[in-house]
Amino acid sequence: MDKVQQEADHLYKQLFGKLVASLLYASRDIDPQTAEDIVQDAFSAALIDWRLQGIPANSAGWLYKVCRNKALNKIKKDKRLEPLTEKQNQATIEIRFSESAFDDQQLRLLFACAHPDLAPKTQVVITLKYVVNLRVESIAKNLGMTIDGVDKLLLRARQKIRDEKILLEEPHPNALKQRLSIVHKIIYLTFNEGYKSTAGKEILREDLCEEALLLNKALLDSSLSNKETSALHALMLFNSARFKSRISDSGELLDLENQDRSIWNQDLIQLAHDFFTRSQCEIVSSYHLEAAIACLHCIAPSFEQTDWRTIVGLYARLLQIYPNPFVELNYAIAKYYAGDKHGALKILNELQGHTFLNQYYLLNMALGKFQHLEGNDKLARQYLLRATKI
């Protein structure tokens, strides 16, 4: 693969969704499908131009300008705006197409995609697709959906945005706080996509974790943040502290039991403690509970000395306010290590009836490991083999 193709592939992975989102943010006359076509054309143009002229110093900026120009030409051709020769209109469009819309002001795009005319799940999916730039497969995995389900939701969202000419723009300041919870969820899912990977099939995306932390820090530095923002930041920092211990020298994903705790980042753990303390309030959110669980893991001297009973109680509370099969899976694992092996295996076996969880490698890994510990090696091998094939 030549250098031009490598650079284009790298930028495509990094910027495709952000470029699409910046076009949607710029004008209600650019629908999602048109925006995607414009960005695809820009990358095709880059492959031709860069091979002839060389890769520009600011290759991302080059792509942005090409997308902007193609979008302006599209708008002029369709005659959906007043003549762009008028100075005022041209200036307005240039401001809307500001490069900061997809770079320094990415947080603004998050709030823009959390549009009240779109269903909550649609808000999450289009933001993960167009702002965070996750693949459809990754979105499906994070949300417990099928790939086909995500594709259909995106198709309906594109149709709605086009038919109703929904402009994904930053809302009025009074409406920003109403969108805060959905922005929290997007940041949370972005971090999880980077942190939770399939052993042997995906590389841990530390860049996504960093992006999530930077976005949340921008929230913390604004007037919009609340106690949940601090709890979410604490949760991400606790998990980030263990990042380097999660991969073995041979590149395998290590579970908590086999991680080298001596290389956990104590500075990050202390910083997470500070944010967790700052987050304390009467209303306990899912982020508070998950941060508390992560905290207990980080302060435990060893895997065996972890306060599993308290963790079980925290997961039980989490299931009350946020019923979710992924939470139930972790709840069952905690119950096993807390001593309730029968109850844990009962839950895990029931989760096999869930369409998505049945094909989830972590469920099969857990069943395989626990059946081995219970002496059922034949059954354990079946589950472990299934996990490696998923």
Question: What backbone phi and psi angles, to 5 degrees, belong to 31?
Answer: -85, 165
pLDDT value of position 86 = 42
Give 241's DSSP letter: T
Q: What burial class does residue 132 get, using C-beta atoms within 10 Å of its C-beta: 0-12 exposed, 13-18 middle, 19+ buried? A: buried
User: Sign of dihedral through CA atoms 40, 45, 69, 131?
Assistant: positive
Question: How many whole angstroms separate alpha carbon 231 and alpha carbon 276?
Answer: 5
Query: Does residue 286 or residue 355 have the better pLDDT?
Result: 286
pLDDT exceeds 80 at position 57: yes
Both ends of the chain: CA-CA distance in Å? 29
Encoded tokens for 105: 């002001």
> What are the pLDDT digits (tens) for 297-316?
999 999 999 999 999 999 99
pLDDT value of position 47 = 93
**pLDDT band at residue 204, thresholds of 50, 70 and 90?**
low
pLDDT exceeds 50 at position 351: yes
Q: What angle is formed at CA 228 by the lines to CA 227 and CA 232, rounded to 5 degrees?
A: 120
Question: How many whole angstroms separate alpha carbon 251 and alpha carbon 255?
Answer: 13
CATH architecture of 106-166+178-194+205-224: Orthogonal Bundle (1.10)
CB hemisphere CA count around 150 (13 angstroms): 20
Encoded tokens for 287: 């982020």
User: Sign of dihedral through CA atoms 164, 168, 169, 174?
Assistant: positive
- Give whole-number Cα distances, 194 to 55, 121, 191, 286, 287, in Å: 29, 20, 5, 20, 17
Q: What is the mean pLDDT of residues 142-161?
A: 88
Residue spans per domain, the chain? 1-104, 106-166+178-194+205-224, 307-390
Query: Does residue 332 or residue 172 have the better pLDDT?
Result: 332
pLDDT exceeds 70 at position 362: yes
**pLDDT band at residue 93, thresholds of 50, 70 and 90?**
very low
Mean of all residue pLDDT scores within the chain:
85
Q: What burial class does residue 57 get, using C-beta atoms within 10 Å of its C-beta: 0-12 exposed, 13-18 middle, 19+ buried? A: exposed
pLDDT exceeds 80 at position 89: no
Question: How many whole angstroms separate alpha carbon 362 and alpha carbon 374?
Answer: 18
User: Sign of dihedral through CA atoms 61, 65, 68, 70?
Assistant: negative
Q: What angle is formed at CA 204 by the lines to CA 226 and CA 371, rounded to 5 degrees?
A: 100
Given a contact cutoff of 8 angstroms between Cβ atoms, the answer to whether 265 and 244 are in contact is yes
Q: What angle is formed at CA 357 by the lines to CA 247 and CA 294, rounded to 5 degrees?
A: 45
- Give whole-number Cα distances, 135 to 10, 83, 125, 184, 191, in Å: 14, 37, 10, 20, 15
Query: Does residue 64 or residue 144 have the better pLDDT?
Result: 64
pLDDT value of position 116 = 83
Query: Does residue 161 or residue 232 have the better pLDDT?
Result: 232
pLDDT value of position 22 = 77
Helix 341-351 with 361-373: angle, nearest 10 deg: 150
Instruction: Please tell me the CATH superfamily of domain 307-390, with its number.
Output: Tetratricopeptide repeat domain (1.25.40.10)
Question: Quick one: what percent of the chain has pLDDT higher than 90?
Answer: 48
Partner residues linked to 253 by β-bridges: 247
Q: Helix, strand, coil: what percent of the chain each, to 5?
A: 70, 0, 30
Q: What is the mean pLDDT of residues 125-151?
A: 84
pLDDT exceeds 50 at position 92: no
Instruction: Identify the top-confidence range among 56-60, 90-94, 104-108, 136-140.
Output: 56-60
Lowest mean pLDDT among 83-87, 109-113, 234-238, 307-311: 83-87
**DSSP annotation string for 115-168:** -TTS-HHHHHHHHHHHTS---HHHHHHHHT--HHHHHHHHHHHHHHHHHTT---
Query: Does residue 26 or residue 318 have the better pLDDT?
Result: 318
**pLDDT band at residue 296, thresholds of 50, 70 and 90?**
very high
> What are the pLDDT digits (tens) for 189-201?
889 888 875 433 4
Residue 327 CB neighbours (<10 A): 18
- Give whole-number Cα distances, 259 to 6, 330, 368, in Å: 34, 18, 19
- Give whole-number Cα distances, 98 to 64, 65, 291, in Å: 10, 10, 37
For residue 247, give the 3-state DSSP assignment. Answer: strand
**pLDDT band at residue 390, thresholds of 50, 70 and 90?**
low
Lowest mean pLDDT among 217-226, 256-265, 291-300, 367-376: 217-226
For residue 253, give the 3-state DSSP assignment. Answer: strand
pLDDT exceeds 60 at position 13: yes
pLDDT value of position 200 = 39
Q: What is the mean pLDDT of residues 229-251?
A: 92
**pTM for the predicted model, two decimal places:** 0.77
Query: Does residue 8 or residue 30 have the better pLDDT?
Result: 8
> What are the pLDDT digits (tens) for 252-265?
778 899 999 999 99
